[in-house]
Amino acid sequence: MSPPLSTMTLHRAPFRLVDSLMNRNLLRSSSPSRSCASASSQAAMEDIENNRELFEYTSGRWIYNEPRRLAGRRLTFNVDELKKAAAKSVNRLTSDIKSFRKIVEGGFNRVFDISMKDGSSVLARLPYPSTLPRRLAVASEVATLAFVRSHGIPTPRVLGYSVDENAISAEYILMEKLPGRPIGGAWFDLSEQERLKVLLQIVKLEAKLFTIDLPASGSIYYARDLSPSIPKIDIPGSDDGLCIGPYAALRWWFGERGNLDIDRGPHDDPRLVLQAPAEKELAWIRAYGRPRFPFERAYRETFDYKRQDPEEHTNSLVDYIRLAPHLVPACSKLNLPVLRHPDLQPNNIFVSEDFNITGLIDWQHSLVLPTFLAAGMPNLFQNYNDVESMSFVQPQLPDDFESMDEDERARAQEQFRRRHVHFFYLGFTQRMNEPHWHALKQETGLLKRRIFNDAGSPWEGLNTPLQMDIVRVSQNWSTIPPANSDGTIPACPIVLSEQEAQRRAALDESLLEVDFEMERINGVLGIASDGWTPNESFESAKEKARMIREEGLAAVSDDPWLKEMTEQHWPFDDCNEDE
């Protein structure tokens, strides 16, 4: 149950209204499109119209800024040419094709099933126009799939691909259809034994990745897909021309970052791995930075609805770069480059009917990083916010579980599931993946990974996360850097006053409270953090959002300035995301 308003520390109109909504029982209730070369002809226009469902995003709605989301996912391509390419990839004719249908739309790609009359299928995966980096995202995923497949990781076999101009008018990957099905939402309903069976297989597959020798950090490519001017380091023993090239992760190419002349790897020195993301952000701020509001509109009241200065973030990035050399572990094993799956979540894990893993899909944006930075529990399995999980104690259901009411039992069961998964992932890793376990045991590993990620995150008007990371590093300095040859600890290059540390901590705490309340409100509305909701829930979500807005503005009607700011920065309205 939500706390009474008198006990809430925040006084933000949208947050105060969650309780009133619950009391009223509401809980019950970009880039331009591509076109084919003959688009100017009437026949081509008719073809586009007939195939519009294939070109548009139809798997859900957004309750705000929907035109922008749809535009970024709108991709017009030549359907007939894609059919030809798919048939050719398996030595068939287009006349052998029985059906062509859209089956999946994710955050970055659209997938089509091209079924043949003999019962076989080819999957075609096309990135949206908004998916970055162009060319490199597809090229790296193709090479990564081949690489991990050659090391015993079950992945789809690539049948063909293109990253250059082609008759289809789109980049694409053609691949075989894996047997089995994605676990998907069923993950949360598995029995204990079924969960353990999947977890054990995941850890064994990860152990294979941790044993692969790689020469540097970056992303994996075929050398033929990289221009001669792009730095690359050959992967020893590769007969197919595989190499480590620039980082393919989105953060390196987001917004105008793709236009920057910067060092994107590969790197064989962990110090450069740590420093390069911050240098990237400094270069972007110098070229494009300007004061702006935090991207998350719910954060803006914390900063009195004032635009944030990128120079403040510049100062934090400079401080981070001074800290970075001290974050490199003394243990050489922790600096070995390792490849991890970039998004290990239920929809990317395919299983048979008896829960044997048949494949891991979606290796887009994969990275090779030093072990101490690549380590960590996948979000699907971690439960770091729970004290019992952090103590590495085998979980048990409460003693009074059987006497609980239905809602209490559901909450206890979900808490147990989270703890169960967290505990056994760590337990299996301890037994079967020693390099990963060694990295996970490091006292400051989480803090180092957090500051590394925040330093490289694209700046969108929020300075606090990196500032708070620097506070935590300075406060834990005695455990951070390797000791000098005489056994002493080098002095921390950043000195913060207690007053400044407290100021940052107060801001960080306020933002965490906003995160908690927004998660609660999104649950009431039935939306994801970006406003996405299933088609069948759209009208209901819009109506609930309208009611929250009405009451929110009414709650501040006695303060004209606050009412104006609340209306201008309302989290669930269409807005300019770059202001």
User: Residue 486: what residue type?
Assistant: D
Q: Residue 160: phi, psi to the nearest 5?
A: 175, 160
Q: Are 126 and 110 in contact (CB under 8 A)?
A: yes
Segments of 58-157 assigned E as strands: 61-62, 97-105, 109-116, 121-127
pLDDT above 60 for 12: no
User: Residue 189: what residue type?
Assistant: D
The full DSSP string for 307-359 is PBPHHHHHHHHHHHHHHGGGGS-S-GGGGSEEE--S---GGGEEE-TT--EEE
The SS3 assignment for 275 reads helix
Instruction: Kindly list the structural domains of the chain, giving each domain's residue range(s) and its CATH number in brackets, ordered by start.
Output: 50-177 (3.30.200.20), 526-578 (no CATH)
Q: What percent of the chain has pLDDT over 70?
A: 91
The SS3 assignment for 492 reads coil
Reported confidence tier of residue 25, pLDDT bands at 50, 70, 90: very low
Segments of 259-305 assigned E as strands: none
Give CA 559 to chain center in angstroms.
39
pTM of the model: 0.90
pLDDT digit string (tens) for 105-121?
A: 999 999 999 999 999 99
pLDDT above 70 for 194: yes
- Cα distances (Å, whole numbers) of residue 19 to 105, 178, 221, 538, 552: 35, 46, 52, 22, 12
H helix runs in 391-497, sequence order: 406-432, 434-440, 445-456, 464-475
pLDDT digit string (tens) for 32-67?
A: 333 333 444 555 555 666 688 999 999 999 999 999
Between the two ends of the chain, the Cα-to-Cα distance in Å is: 36
Cα–Cα distance for residue pair 517/529, rounded to 1 Å: 12
pLDDT above 70 for 23: no
